[in-house]
Each structure stands twice: as C-alpha cells, then as structure tokens.
A and B are shown apart, each in its own frame.
Chain A
Amino acid sequence: MATGVAAWLPFARAAAIGWMPVANCPMPIAPKDSNSKRKDELIVLNVSGHRFQTWRTTLDRFPDTLLGSSEKDFFYNEDIKEYFFDRDPDAFRSILNFYRTGKLHYPRHECISAYDEELTFFGIIPEIIGDCCYEEYKDRKRENLERLQDDQEENKDMKLPNMNCRETMWRAFENPHTSTMALVFYYVTGFFIAISVITNVIETVPCGSTANQKDMPCGERYTVAFFCMDTACVMIFTVEYLLRLFAAPSRYRFMRSVMSIIDVVAILPYYIGLVMSNNEDVSGAFVTLRVFRVFRIFKFSRHSQGLRILGYTLKSCASELGFLLFSLTMAIIIFATVMFYAEKGSSSSKFTSIPASFWYTIVTMTTLGYGDMVPKTIAGKIFGSICSLSGVLVIALPVPVIVSNFSRIYHQNQRADKRRAQKKARLARIRISKSSSANTFLHNKCNGLLNELLELTDTEEDEQKLNKSTSLLESQHHHLLNCLEKTTAHEFVDEQIYEQNSLDTAVQNYHSRSPSLNSNDDGSVGTCCGCRTKRNTPLPNASMPCSDPVPTQQRPLQELSAIHIGSGESQTTSRSKLNLKTNDNVRINCKGGRITTAIISLPSPPALNLDADSLRGPPQRRPPPPPGHPAAPSIQTTASSAVTNIFKVSAL
C-alpha cells in the first residue's frame, strides 16, 4: 500500500460511492474502526527530555514503522502520560519530520552509523531517503564501509598459531613488518632492484674514449662487469619469484596477478639473451628485449605505497581516462582535417596529408608547440588558434576528476596508515581497561577464599579490610564467572601462574631434565622480544601492556615444545588462548605461585576441606606448605592454574 498517501484513503473510500449505483451485487461490509471515537489527538513524544508533539494521525501515516504501529505502546509511560524514548533527540528531529512531510532527509552533520542505528531503531528503511540527500548518504556509507574493511583486513594479519612454513613465508612476503627476516628480504630485494635499474642506465652512458675507438658506452667497455652485475640481480629476482610462487596460497591466481607478470617480464630478457646470445640474425630482437629490462622498476611498487595508489587510481579512473582519450581523438581528427584542407593551397606546406597533420594537432592541442609545422595561410592560422584554445579545454576537463579520485584514495590510505599506527596503542589501552575487570575477578577470588581462610582463623578485622565494597554489577558478573568455572570444573588463572605451574609440573615429572629445562627457559626468554624478560618477574600491582601480543602467544608454545609435555598439548594451546582473552596483562595481587606443584605430589586432599565437591576442589586451597618443596608458598596464592593440575590429577 502506498503509505505515503494514507491520508487520502478516506477520500478514496468516500469516492467509491460513485461505483455503487453501477454495481449489481451487494458490497462487502466495511471494516469497523474501533478507534473511530478516538478523535485526532496530540501525542507527546519525549525523547531524552525533548518533548515533541504531533497529531496521532501524522504518526499513523506509516504503519510499518515503530511510531506508526502499536510498538510504541511499549514505550508509553503511564506516570507522565508520554511516550518516552531514550534516544538522541537531534536525530529524532529528522525522523519525526519524515512523518510530517513524507520525506526522509539525512542531516549532514550526523555520523552515518549513528543515523543508521536510529533509523533501524525506529523501523525506517534508509532507501526512502529523498533524492536530495540520498547521494550524500550513500557516499558516506560507502566511505564508512571501506574504513571497516580496512580494519578487518588488518585483523587478518594476526598470526594464527598453526601456520606452516608455506603460510609463514607468504605472510612474510606480503607484510614485511611481521618478522625481521621478512624485513631483511624486503630491503635486499629493494636494493637489488635499484642496483639493476641504475646499471641499466649507466650501461648506455659514454664512458670516455679508449685509444683506438671513439666514445663508447660503458656497457661495451666493461662488458664483463655489467654482465656479472646483471646476472647477480637476475638470480636474486629469480629466487624471489620462485619463493613467492612456492609460498602463494593459490598458485594459479598468483601467476595471473600483475606483480608476478612484471616479475616475469623483468627477468625473461636475460634468459632469452642467454639462449640466443651468439646469433647475429636475432640480435636486433635481442636489443629490443633489453628494453623490457626497464620493467624492473615497476617492481618497486611492492616497496612503495604511493606507486600502488597511483596505479589503483588510474585503474579506478579508467572511464574518465577513456573519455579523455576519446574526446581528444575526436578533436584531433577534426582539426587535422581542417588544417590539412586549409593549408592545401599554400606552397611547400608541411601538411602533406591528414595523418601528417595529426602531429601538428597533437602538438598544438597539448600546447607544446614545437614549431616544426606551422600554418602559413590565414585560414590555417585562424583554425590553428581555435585548435590550441580548444585543446586546453578538452584536456583540462577530465583532469580534475582524476585528481579528485587520486586525492580521495590517497587520503583514505593515509587515514588507514594513521589508524594502523594508532591501533596498537588503542588496543593496548582497551586491553588494560578490559583486563582490569578480569583483574578484579581474580582479585575477588583471592579475597573471597582468603576470607574463608580467615574465618577459620577468626581474624575478623582483616576480613573486613579485604571486603572492599564491589558494586552490584561487579558482584553479579563475578558470580557469573564463578558459575562458569563450576560448570566446566576449570578455573580462570593468571597467565604467569599458569606458565609457572606448567614449568613446575615438568620439574616434578621430569627430574632429570630440570637443568636443561632451566637453560631452556632462560634461552627462550633471551630470544625474541625483550618483553619476555619483563614478564618473567612478577610485578605485584602493575599490569604492563606488551605492545606486541605475538610473543605472549608464542611463549607458551615454545616452552611447551621445549618441555615436551606429551598429554594434551592441543588443550594447552587452546587454554593459552583463553588466558590471553581473559587476563592478558594481569598481575593479580598475589605473590609467588609455587604452591600448586605441591598438590600433585600429594594426591590426597589436605587438612582443610572447605569444599567438599571433588578432588579438584580442595587442592586449590592449601594453606600449609608441603614438606620438601623449595619455594615457600604464601597463603594468598589461591588462584592456581588448575588446568594442568586437573588433567594431571585425573591422569594419576
């Protein structure tokens, strides 16, 4: 139904009386309008304190939206007799205007995603935005989508733990900043591209005359040296191409891509030259092939983002470029014909044919004006001046379109770079704020269990001290996490304690390997990121954001592979992921952490049986230190890495 003309429906129905005398059969009964007694009344819409008033019939014009249907009754507040919406009043203005005028406008100062959300909330599809605002809306939406796509693509760069050699290599090729090897490779290839190009250029420079001959180019004078240089470069490029081909996830697609074609074209001339170096007949073709060596300079586009942007711009402006070309061709042909016929009369004119006049037209229209062909007749001069004036126009028209396209893409790229640079800091800050909530959970667990211990030892003052007032929301959240722990019979722990426990269990189970383990541990710490050394020392309060999340993931992996805990390696990898999510940079307010190893050595539950559910319960709360353990455990360490313990215990 045409909702926009709902206001005219009563009229259309009344006009139906005109059919009645003509009809031969009785009419159906009209639907009863139970609300007919409810005369048109004013409705108050309270949007975050701003009161909007309108007639009820205005809202009823669009019955498939929130305000036009009975859905708004959910928002009716009996006390104030108003419909209350907890939304943005500025955006609501344009939405209410839609009901009033039937046209939806997009306010330009509004953020596109905020506006979209408002529209979705009120049940209005954005497609009915009026023509006046629709293009702007679509442009902004597209811009936003591109931005989101950029972010998504960066997320894909996160290293998955299970990448094999081939995928690692491909990632290193595509994104040189991922590892030092990739960076080295990147710079080396760049250097050799530059060397190759410079060599090609210098080859042709006259090098000074020898005794017997005149100036000859350097290439012929120092043939061997240049040949060696060329060979070295080509070898590097060949190796690089083959490695890329090997590492590519889809070899066929890689071979069809532009960059690989450039690579092939860059190195082929050399090989072809090798094959037919001594054949005089084809030496002419061989010389031509050398021209293709200059394509090596295009390999720089992997190294330069600006070049890539330029190429992308030209590709996206293909239609404008095509139009430019077409209009230029038309103008050239027209003016060349005119000039030819105008200059036909004059003697010794250079305009011998129309194609010959093409050269004059092109030179004139691009305002080059070499002067090798000039018109001599008056008519020729008149037409020649018109030609040059129109040339300026024809070229100047499509150029701003191309320029604006380039500018848009360039700025977009710059924005993406800026976002990428800021992203790490942003993520780190977000992670801190998130981890503090996980922090409080573990903290509260410590305190809660500590409270229970203290209850037994009857120190009420300490208990009250530790009972910091947590908000209702927090306590409910913690209760939820607790429920999850009980459900899965696992516990959330601090990553550091978990790792230490995994180390310690290894110590317990593989006594002979302990010295090598220690060295391994140190070794693993020494390599890679300097963050690792810091992470080893438990700081009581600070949560230190390590800006590069990769090492934290790698660390448990490396150690595990060093320690060779046979059982459940995959379990631990997934566990480490869970650790990363919940408590990435957490340092809970508990010291030490060696208590749990003792639990394994003593399979029987300890004296304190606070929790009677299972074997797993009691081991978590072990105040008295078992004999024979080197480190002195402290009571506060109750957050144990129960994971390894649990499956170890069950293995026992």
Chain B
Amino acid sequence: MGLDGMEVIAIAVVIGLFVVVLKQFGVWEPLSLEDSCEGDLELSMVRHQPEGLDQLQAQTQFTRKELQSLYRGFKNECPSGLVDEETFKSIYSQFFPQGDATTYAHFLFNAFDMDRSGSIRFEDFVIGLSVLLRGSVTEKLRWAFNLYDINKDGYVTKEEMMAIMTSIYDMMGRYTLPSVRDDSPYEHVERFFQKMDRNRDGVVTIDEFIETCQKDENIMASMQLFENVI
C-alpha cells in the first residue's frame, strides 16, 4: 500500500511524540541524568579554610586583632573563603566608576594570587596586604615590581609596562582634563624607561628598579602614604 505524503508526516509525528513520552519516563537516554548529578557535586566542594591564626601571625606583620578584623571583613564579602577573578574585578571596578578598571584588576589579581591558583585565598590576601602596609620600602618596591612583571620572569619589558600603563589610563575613563590622548601611555612608558633603565638594554631588572626608586624622593615619600590604612 502506497503511503501518501501526509500520511508519512503523520506517522513521523506520532513516532516523535512517542519518543517524547519515553523520555519522560527516563527510559530513553539514561546517561543524560547522571551527568547532571555530577555537575551539582562539583560546585558544593569549593570552599576554603585559612591556616590558623598563629601561622598567619608569623607570616605577616599584623597583630592578632587586626587579622581577626581583616578575616571578618573578608569572610563577610566572600563567604566561601575564596575570591575568584570575576568577583575581584567587579569589586575593584566599583571604586572607579568613570573608567574601566577590569584590566588593572586582572593584573592586581595576578599579583595577589601568588600560587596562580585562579582564586585569592585569605592567606594570599593578608600576606599581600602585610607587605603593602607594614613592609619595608624595599619590600614594597619588590611588590610593585612583581606587579609590573606580568609573566614573572624577573624582567619588566616595554610591552609589559605598556600594558600596565594602558590599564592605569583606562581607569581614568573618557572624561578627563586634559584628555587622555592615544599616545599618553606610550609617552609615559618612555619616560619611565628613561628613568629606570640604566644600562639601556630595553628591560628593567629588579635591582635597577629598586636603585632608581630609592634615589627618587617623590617615590620614597609616596611609598609611606598608606601606612595607617588599617
């Protein structure tokens, strides 16, 4: 018996509905159910507890009370105990509403995330803060150098500096006086390298950096600026 075109379609529709009903009963494609279960498990495991208070006290320059206060604030903001990059970027961006702080936040995140785990734990956070607020000038300069050195190879190249500078100028946004020109970052990098790069080899090493900064009064004065933030 020859099947009409419409009858073929009708039979196809009926088969399709049948499959849908089977899917409802879980008879068809049972594998898909298991996958979804595993996904849920993964998320709930992500949590982090910091090291003990005593160890942190040993590693940083903060007092016990300060550590307690810091941890309370940290845990309040991030109940899971970890800050991932997206959250970090969004928090940091809120302080610079006119511009785009995401790139600089990315560099900052990498500077704090010392073990490159992709998230900042409380230890990273507090160790970084300890250097910035309670460390010696040399330590602070070392930290700043670490920030500029994007690939952490010990040398700051012009490209790395250019990236950092662009991200800093991005935070300013469009509405500035005088306006940020396209080559402002480039000029700024040129001036920086002229000052820092002693042997004119195109890169700045840590020693050159520290040496130059120690000779500059402005920089030394500004390093002490945030002594009593906490």
Contact = CB atoms under 8 A, between A and B. Distances in A.
A37 to B, nearest CB: 10
A181 B35 CA distance: 78
20 contacts: A2-B97, A4-B94, A7-B76, A10-B230, A11-B125, A13-B226, A13-B229, A14-B129, A14-B133, A17-B140, A18-B144, A18-B148, A21-B209, A22-B192, A27-B218, A29-B225, A39-B69, A377-B6, A378-B7, A382-B14
B147 interface: yes
Contacts of A22: 164-165, 168, 188, 192
Nearest to B108: A15
A7 B188 CA distance: 32
Interface in B179-205: 188, 191-192
B159 interface: no
Given A12-B92, A33-B228, A40-B69, A383 B10 contact: yes
Contacts of A5: 77, 91, 94-95
A24 interface: yes
A21 B10 contact: no
Interface in A14-63: 14-27, 29-30, 33, 36, 39-40, 55, 57-58
A10 B218 contact: no
Given A7-B76, A30-B225, A17 B144 contact: yes
A202 interface: no
Most B CB within 10 A of own CB, among A25, A26, A344? A26
A382 B73 contact: no
A489 to B, nearest CB: 63
* Chief secondary structure at chain B's binding surface: helix
Interface string A336-351: 0000011011000000
B4 A16 contact: no
Interface of B: 4, 6-7, 9-10, 13-14, 65, 69, 72-73, 76-77, 91-92, 94-95, 97, 108, 111, 125, 128-129, 132-133, 140-141, 143-144, 147-148, 164-165, 168, 188, 191-192, 209, 213, 218-219, 221-223, 225-226, 228-230
A26 B14 contact: no
A20 B164 CA distance: 13
Contacts of A11: 125, 129
A8 interface: yes
Given A26-B218, A342-B10, A378-B10, A17 B91 contact: no
A2 B13 contact: no
A342 B7 CA distance: 8
A8 B148 CA distance: 22
A379 interface: yes
A386 interface: yes
B95 to A, nearest CB: 5
Nearest to A40: B69
A7 B73 contact: yes
A27 B132 contact: no
B94 A20 contact: no
Given A2-B95, A345-B6, 10 more contacts: A2-B94, A8-B92, A10-B229, A10-B230, A13-B226, A19-B168, A23-B219, A26-B222, A378-B10, A382-B10
A8 B77 contact: yes
A100 interface: yes
Interface string A57-71: 110000000000000
A58 B62 CA distance: 20
Contacts of A14: 128-129, 132-133, 226, 229
Given A17-B140, A33-B228, A40-B69, A379 B223 contact: no
A5 B132 CA distance: 20
Contact of A21 (B6, B72, B141): B141
Contacts of A2: 94-95, 97
A133 interface: no
A15 B188 contact: no
Contacts of A58: 76
Per CB-CB distance, the 6 closest pairs between chain A and chain B, nearest first, are A2-B94, A14-B132, A379-B10, A27-B222, A379-B6, A20-B222
Nearest to B164: A22
A615 interface: no
Contacts of A466: none
A5 B143 CA distance: 24
A184 interface: no
Contacts of B191: 24
A9 interface: yes
B223 A17 contact: yes
A383 B17 CA distance: 12
A436 to B, nearest CB: 55
Given A14-B133, A21-B141, A27 B221 contact: yes
Nearest to A343: B6
Interface in A352-393: 377-379, 382-383, 386
A379 B9 contact: yes
B81 to A, nearest CB: 15
Given A342-B6, A378-B10, A100 B219 contact: no
B73 A386 contact: no
Contacts of B209: 21
B221 A9 contact: no
A29 to B, nearest CB: 8
A17 B143 contact: yes
Contacts of B222: 20, 23, 26-27
Contacts of B188: 22, 24
A378 B5 CA distance: 12
Given A5-B95, A13-B229, A25-B218, A20 B144 contact: yes
A391 B99 CA distance: 55
A21 B7 CA distance: 80
Nearest to B189: A22
Contacts of A39: 65, 69
Contacts of A4: 94
Interface string A153-195: 0000000000000000000000000000000000000000000
Given A2-B95, A10-B229, A345-B4, A26 B13 contact: no
A377 B229 CA distance: 85
Contacts of B213: 21
Interface string A520-549: 000000000000000000000000000000
Most A CB within 10 A of own CB, among B77, B209, B221, B226? B226
Contacts of B219: 20-21, 23
A12 to B, nearest CB: 5
Contacts of A386: 13
A345 B95 CA distance: 73
Most B CB within 10 A of own CB, among A5, A9, A18? A18
Given A24-B191, A383-B10, A386-B13, A18 B108 contact: yes
B133 to A, nearest CB: 5
Most B CB within 10 A of own CB, among A7, A21, A25, A102? A21
Given A7-B77, A14-B129, A379 B108 contact: no
Contacts of A30: 225-226
A175 to B, nearest CB: 55
A320 to B, nearest CB: 28
A101 B111 CA distance: 28
Interface in A283-338: none
A2 B98 CA distance: 13
A9 B147 CA distance: 19
A48 to B, nearest CB: 27
Nearest to B209: A21
Contacts of B221: 26-27
Nearest to B5: A341
A17 B226 contact: yes
A100 B14 CA distance: 58
